[in-house]
A and B are shown apart, each in its own frame.
Chain A
Amino acid sequence: MSTADATLVPITQRSWLTPSRMAGLALLGLLALFALSGPLLVSVDPSEQDFAASLAPPGSDYLLGADHYGRSMLARLAYGARLSFGMALLTVATAAVPGILLGLLAAWRGGWLERVLDLVSTVLLALPGLLLVLILLAFAPGTFGPLYLGLALTLWIEFYRVTWVTAGGVLKQPHVEATRLLGFGTSYILRSLVLPEIRPILITLSAFAMSTAIIAISTLSAISVGLRPPTPELGAMIVELLPYYAEAPLHVLMPGILIFLLVLGLQLATRSDAR
């Protein structure tokens, strides 16, 4: 219901930068910095093995230690963060653009177009998303393309439906109808009247979709249907290191903490304080 509240309260009256949003954005900024600069600063190849350094503790030659094959944890974490971040951004962008455009189109034009799109989306919604991802992945196992495409295909429906319902509500409001009758152009109405109303909820939705994508990528890799070793993927790293939890608990925790921080940052950055 926070979504309904958000559309009722005019956007300008609320302070956008709440403390939790600030914390979230700061966290995301730090993680992005780590993901972007990490691979540049650490010149080590994340798949280079050094059996002599197997499970080296943090400190020593390796800043964050080395995994069971003696690969630099720092390098793998940095590449892993970049991978999760990048894949999630790409997936959400790919899902959001057609989803929002189709949603606006359906709300604007109505009629048979709306009905056809509604039918397509309800049928797709009932298709198990897992099935789509699994089958697409089976075309080229362990690669980025199908994983990203499969996730985007399951995520766009949510963007479409939310945009359609919210924009439809906005377009029915008397002041919008009046503007339309006064002969203002489509782009003006969409830009000045509809977009401000649906933006907050779309931002929240994007953050949710990104969290979903990050968790889905790591989860699929964890049950070994996603990305394949030696790709430094955070979920795969946890599962690979898991058997060593008694010897090197910190190593197992690190990728888990990184995923946790990523999702936490996203959640905090887009939290609406509906009090």
Chain B
Amino acid sequence: MTTKLVAIAVAVLSMTGMAAAKPLKVVGPWEIAGIDPAQSGFVFSRMQVAETLVSVDADGKLTAGLATSWSAAEDGLTWRFRLREAARFHDGSAVTAAIVADTLRKVQGGAGALSQVPVAGIEPDGEDVVIRLSKPFAALPAYLVNYTTIILAPSSIGASGKVERIVGSGPYRVKSLTPPLNMQLEAAAEWAGAKPGIAEVDYQAVGQGETRALMAESGEADLVFSMLPVSVERLKRNPNLDVRIATIPRTRLLKVNAASPLFSDVRVRRAISATLDREGTTRVILRNADLAATQLFPKALAGWHDPELPPLKRDLAAAKALLAEAGWTPGADGVLHKDGKPFSFTLLTYASWPELPPIATAIQAQLKQVGIDAKVSVGNASEIPARHKDGTLEMGLVSRLYSIVPDAIGTLRDDYKSGGSDWGATGWSNDELNALVETMAQTSDPAARAPMQRRAIAILQSELPSIPVTWSELAVVANKRVTGLRIDPLEVNYGLAAIRWAQ
């Protein structure tokens, strides 16, 4: 009796799985916490539901988005963005310059990347959106790639003035949205460009990395983003799967409070850097020794990586010598002491990225070898900014993204300004770097920027306001059922519309 029931149940269940028109099943770690673009705009941008004015290709070159072209006036203060003519929202209405200008004005007043641009005014002018600046700022178009600036139709906004539904202008429209874990998309009739290769997309957020790997392995998902390093090797051996890896502009670094008595001496910061076993850490935890961060920016970040720069590397003898020079001598318990105080502090990190706590424990074990006593504390992501603000931060292990604005100048300008920032320097400032960064922000000629970029990197490398530990990569797994996948290291647009079923 029971067995019969179970058999019937299994049969019915397996039949419901075979629907007629199969959607592309995409699995990723990001939850849709709230639908406001400032919160989840990146999901809608990546999944091609909504567009920004400017987009970017895999090499970091700016390309057309909702704006087909843009130009700055002679003085560098007035920028004109020409909108795509046939652009329509998913409710059928046209994308007008007035709507775009309204949206951007609102975003500029928020806390997103655009608020850091010296904007004087944003106005529609016929087909164009005109942005006036209070001082020249060559990096403006790059800021308009940021997901908080996606353009939504006025019908997205409810009576309360908040975004209540997503009506974008991309190749896919939202069919159903069940925050925080589910979203279904279908090809939008209003899209004038090439029709998406697969008409329906089903996005499922799965927080557990291992579960994502299992979904790829079992063939349940067609496309899985962000695999744990340990799963990658196993998945590569699977004949049905295609594993793609891209280096992304994200660096895990030690955010050091240079104003604290422990770390104010640059020799101590250099000693800590020389203590780190970056190669061992990356080999064991990230399963790729090439990710050892020998300088702040990875090779993939064009113009910001200097192969000539002497690399940061492990040298325990040098580290010990530097510490002795700085006045630290081993105490009876093996821990270094200076003026009767032990070299002991809290290394704060957070679990938003699963690899941070293990890297922190590895660093703790490595620092112990030279007599530095670090206690690891894993908290919430907000604790590091909070303790940066009140000055009680000693050392934090953070994961810093340099493509919030595809031009790293955006992040650099914020992170190393005097006073530092949430994820940048603490208690450290350098006038030469500040001047360089401001000049670069106003310079658009790559040739003129190159020497300034090299100098900026060199300053950060010798002063070490943040101590780079590892670079990062993004692993995407596609089932061989699908073809046409393109990896976007800047994670702006996953190009789902170009994916097709393999024949």
The interface of chain A, by Cβ under 8 A from chain B, is: 47-49, 51, 54, 68-70, 141-142, 224, 228-230, 240, 242-244, 246-247
Tell whether B427 is near chain A: CB-to-CB under 8 Å.
Answer: no
Contact A54 B210 (CB under 8 A): no
Question: Which of A48, A142, A240, A247 touches B378 (beta carbons < 8 Å)?
Answer: A142
Contact B357 A228 (CB under 8 A): yes
Question: SS class of chain B's interface: helix, strand, loop or mixed?
Answer: helix
Contact A246 B234 (CB under 8 A): yes
Contact A69 B361 (CB under 8 A): yes
Q: What would 20 A/B residue contacts be, using CB atoms closer than 8 Å? A: A47-B365, A49-B365, A51-B277, A51-B280, A51-B281, A51-B283, A54-B284, A68-B230, A70-B284, A141-B378, A141-B379, A141-B380, A142-B377, A229-B361, A229-B376, A229-B378, A230-B364, A240-B358, A243-B230, A247-B234
Bound-complex Cα distance A69 to B228 (A): 16
With known contacts A47-B361, A68-B284, A229-B357, A243–B378 Cβ distance under 8 A? no
A43 to chain B, nearest CB (A): 16
Q: What are the residues of chain B within 8 A of A51 when measuring CB–CB?
A: 277, 280-281, 283-284
Q: Across chains A and B, which 6 residue pairs bring their CB atoms closest together, nearest first?
A: A243-B230, A51-B280, A49-B365, A230-B361, A228-B378, A51-B284
With known contacts A51-B284, A243-B210, A229–B230 Cβ distance under 8 A? no
The interface of chain B, by Cβ under 8 A from chain A, is: 209-210, 213, 228, 230-231, 234, 277, 280-281, 283-284, 351, 357-358, 361-362, 364-365, 376-380
Q: What are the residues of chain A within 8 A of B379 when measuring CB–CB?
A: 141
Question: Which of B213, B357, B361 touches A243 (beta carbons < 8 Å)?
Answer: B213
Question: Which of A47, A70, A142, A244 touches B230 (beta carbons < 8 Å)?
Answer: A244
Name the CB-closest residue of A to B232: A243
Bound-complex Cα distance A48 to B365 (A): 7
Bound-complex Cα distance A47 to B376 (A): 12
Name the CB-closest residue of B to A225: B351
Contact A69 B377 (CB under 8 A): no
Q: What are the residues of chain A within 8 A of B361 when measuring CB–CB?
A: 47, 49, 69, 229-230
Contact B277 A224 (CB under 8 A): no
Contact A69 B210 (CB under 8 A): no
A47 to chain B, nearest CB (A): 7
Question: Which of A69, A70, A142 touches B358 (beta carbons < 8 Å)?
Answer: A69
Name the CB-closest residue of B to A55: B284
Bound-complex Cα distance A68 to B361 (A): 13
Name the CB-closest residue of B to A68: B284
Bound-complex Cα distance A68 to B359 (A): 12
B285 to chain A, nearest CB (A): 8
Q: What are the residues of chain A within 8 A of B364 when measuring CB–CB?
A: 230
Bound-complex Cα distance A54 to B362 (A): 13
* Most interface-central of B228, B281, B357 (chain A CB within 10 A): B357
Contact B284 A69 (CB under 8 A): yes
Bound-complex Cα distance A242 to B231 (A): 10
Bound-complex Cα distance A14 to B362 (A): 56
Name the CB-closest residue of B to A239: B210
Name the CB-closest residue of B to A228: B378
B443 to chain A, nearest CB (A): 44
Bound-complex Cα distance A54 to B135 (A): 55
Q: What are the residues of chain B within 8 A of A247 when measuring CB–CB?
A: 234
B148 to chain A, nearest CB (A): 29
A225 to chain B, nearest CB (A): 10
Contact B228 A243 (CB under 8 A): yes
